[in-house]
């Protein structure tokens, strides 16, 4: 569906969805085993023998690149007594051997070896590893434990077609950082489903982004915000002359100066702006020049494609930020309880289209302590610092519902509409989403 900007209404969402262990268990049973989920960047499993364990709540899915170059996924369980077979990630695997009793499968999931086989009396054909679906979109690997689920392409539709211009295949993952967060996974991803909070916790961005007029669209399971960078927020309302190009330049560089080859700590003077040009024209040109220095040609892109952010939200738990020169993914992954989650941030850089070098594992793949120095850069650090506080209020007994704007926060509404399709309603006195005007 397309969002109608003229409609004014709110949606009430029960706080129990964020606080109830019972609802969390329903998600574990009814949502996560049946939905396409981002497992890892393609770079984690690009070479034969590469493997990656994707964990989500109690689920553990093993993604393996076989000797034959084929990508496969398996439920991470030994068919003997259920031990997890592989943990973490790595390379150069030649077999899948359970460390408990050394039952062994090929990388294609075929049983090969059972120590003292005669005491079991089973054949290899009887006990292959339990397969999961695995498919790739751009540089992202998705899995689905439901072997009957429709294809990834149909699940993502129309996002792959909408992003053809950005040639996502050219992006490679440079870093994955995983941070435990003391909140429900939806508290976390809700924070990446609206930019209404820029005025609250990302005030530096008011000097360089239009956080008010960005158009949003929602489709069946996805949504998109397009946001202009390189101009001031209408919220600033500063006297004429106060918010000038120097002001915007300084804020742009503070937030994302690396894109234009500037020192983010020392913005310096705004570059000269030619007659008939705007600061956005200059910033766009600087993005092209900076990438040309890396061997990447972005000359084909318009100023809008070079400077605007396209933020996609894909049910249930990821957002993909597409820029001309970079791509970022944030995933909200459930932990083991209703109020534990992980914020997984993945950074991608564009490689030349004809780069013959093979994809390799990301340079950084870290799980970091949230109490240590926050590691993610200005804006993500601000988001991270907010999650526990955002969750705390949801546990107050008088607060039964969140009041969410159907327009400004339409991507949050879409998440909950989709959640209703998977998770049976709890015994609530009111419908799970009660509309009011």
| Coil, helix or strand at residue 60 | strand
* Displacement of CA 325 from its chain's centroid (Å): 17
Give the nearer residue to Fe ion in terms of CB position, either 204 or 281: 204
DSSP letter (8 states) at residue 371: T
| Coil, helix or strand at residue 56 | strand
Could you give the CA distance from residue 34 to residue 61 in angstroms, rounded to a whole number? 13
Give the nearer residue to Fe ion in terms of CB position, either 270 or 330: 330
Show the DSSP H helices in 274-337 as ranges: 279-292, 303-307
- For residue 411, the minimal CB distance to Fe ion (Å) is 13
Q: Which region among 203-211, 234-242, 376-384, 394-402 touches Fe ion (by CB under 5 A)?
A: 376-384
- What are the backbone angles phi and psi of residue 139, rounded to the nearest 5°? -95, 25
DSSP run (H or E) holding 166 = none
Give the nearer residue to Fe ion in terms of CB position, either 44 or 319: 319
Q: Which region among 154-162, 181-189, 226-234, 380-388 touches Fe ion (by CB under 5 A)?
A: 380-388
Is residue 383 near Fe ion by the rule CB under 5 A? Answer: yes
- For residue 136, the minimal CB distance to Fe ion (Å) is 28
Residue 239, preceding peptide bond in cis (omega within 30° of 0)? no
**Which residues fall within 8 angstroms of residue 72, CB to CB, at 6 or more apart?**
63, 64, 65, 66, 107, 108, 109, 131, 134
Residue whose Cβ sits closest to Fe ion: 383
| Coil, helix or strand at residue 253 | helix
Give the nearer residue to Fe ion in terms of CB position, either 211 or 383: 383
Give the nearer residue to Fe ion in terms of CB position, either 203 or 285: 203
- For residue 150, the minimal CB distance to Fe ion (Å) is 32
Is residue 170 near Fe ion by the rule CB under 5 A? Answer: no
Q: Which region among 68-76, 107-115, 157-165, 378-386 touches Fe ion (by CB under 5 A)?
A: 378-386
Give the nearer residue to Fe ion in terms of CB position, either 64 or 345: 345
- For residue 254, the minimal CB distance to Fe ion (Å) is 15
Structure tokens belonging to residue 402:
């969140």
Q: Which region among 18-26, 89-97, 292-300, 381-389 touches Fe ion (by CB under 5 A)?
A: 381-389
Under rule CB under 5 A, how many of the chain's residues touch Fe ion? 1
- For residue 241, the minimal CB distance to Fe ion (Å) is 29
| Coil, helix or strand at residue 121 | coil
Each residue 248-287 as x (binds Fe ion by CB under 5 A) or -, in order, gives: ----------------------------------------
- For residue 43, the minimal CB distance to Fe ion (Å) is 26
Q: Smallest Cα–Cα separation from 214: which of 113, 321, 86, 117?
A: 321
Give the nearer residue to Fe ion in terms of CB position, either 78 or 384: 384
**Which residues fall within 8 angstroms of residue 198, CB to CB, at 6 or more apart?**
205, 206, 209, 211, 233
Could you give the CA distance from residue 183 to residue 270 in angstroms, rounded to a whole number? 41
Contact 134, 151 (CB under 8 A): no
Give the nearer residue to Fe ion in terms of CB position, either 103 or 387: 387
Q: Which region among 26-34, 84-92, 270-278, 382-390 touches Fe ion (by CB under 5 A)?
A: 382-390
DSSP letter (8 states) at residue 209: B
Q: Which region among 70-78, 163-171, 238-246, 377-385 touches Fe ion (by CB under 5 A)?
A: 377-385
Q: Determine how many CB atoms are found less than 10 A away from the CB of residue 199.
A: 15
Interface residues toward Fe ion, by CB under 5 A:
383
């Amino acid at each position: 569906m397309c969002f109608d900007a003229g409609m004014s209404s709110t949606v009430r969402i029960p706080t129990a969805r964020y606080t109830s262990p019972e609802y969390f268990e329903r998600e574990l049973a009814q949502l996560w085993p049946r939905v396409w989920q981002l497992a890892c960047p393609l770079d984690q499993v690009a070479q034969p023998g590469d493997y990656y364990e994707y964990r989500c709540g109690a689920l553990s899915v093993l993604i393996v690149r076989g000797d034959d170059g084929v990508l496969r996924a398996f439920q991470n369980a030994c068919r003997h007594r259920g031990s997890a077979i592989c943990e973490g990630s790595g390379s150069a695997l030649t077999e899948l051997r359970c460390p408990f009793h050394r039952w062994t499968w090929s990388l294609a999931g075929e049983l090969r070896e059972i120590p003292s086989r005669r005491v079991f009396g089973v054949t290899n054909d009887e006990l292959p590893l339990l397969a999961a679906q695995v498919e790739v979109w751009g540089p992202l690997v998705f899995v689905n434990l439901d072997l009957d689920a429709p294809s990834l392409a149909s699940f993502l539709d129309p996002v792959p077609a909408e992003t053809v211009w950005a040639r996502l295949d050219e992006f490679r993952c440079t870093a994955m950082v995983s941070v435990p967060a003391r909140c429900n996974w939806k508290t976390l991803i809700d924070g990446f489903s609206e930019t209404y909070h820029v005025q609250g916790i990302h005030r530096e961005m008011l000097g360089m982004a239009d956080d008010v007029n960005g158009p949003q669209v929602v489709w069946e399971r996805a949504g998109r915000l397009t946001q202009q960078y390189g101009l001031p927020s209408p919220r600033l309302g500063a006297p004429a002359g106060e918010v000038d190009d120097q002001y915007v330049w300084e804020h742009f560089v503070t937030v994302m100066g690396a894109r234009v080859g500037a020192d983010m700590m020392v913005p310096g003077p705004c570059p000269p702006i030619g007659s008939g040009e705007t600061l956005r024209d200059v910033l766009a040109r600087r993005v092209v020049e900076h990438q040309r220095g890396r061997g990447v040609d972005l000359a084909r892109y318009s100023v809008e494609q070079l400077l605007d952010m396209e933020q996609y939200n894909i049910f249930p738990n990821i957002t993909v930020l597409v820029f001309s020169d970079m791509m970022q993914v944030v995933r909200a992954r459930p932990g083991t309880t209703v109020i534990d989650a992980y914020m997984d941030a993945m950074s991608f850089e564009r490689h030349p289209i004809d780069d013959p070098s093979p994809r390799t594992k990301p340079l950084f793949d870290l799980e970091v302590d949230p109490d240590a120095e926050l590691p993610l850069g200005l804006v993500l650090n601000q988001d991270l610092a907010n999650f526990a506080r955002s969750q705390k209020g949801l546990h107050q007994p008088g607060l039964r519902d969140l009041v969410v704007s159907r327009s400004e926060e339409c991507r949050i509404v879409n998440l909950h509409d989709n959640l209703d399709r998977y998770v049976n309603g709890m015994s609530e006195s009111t419908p799970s989403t009660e509309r009011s005007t």
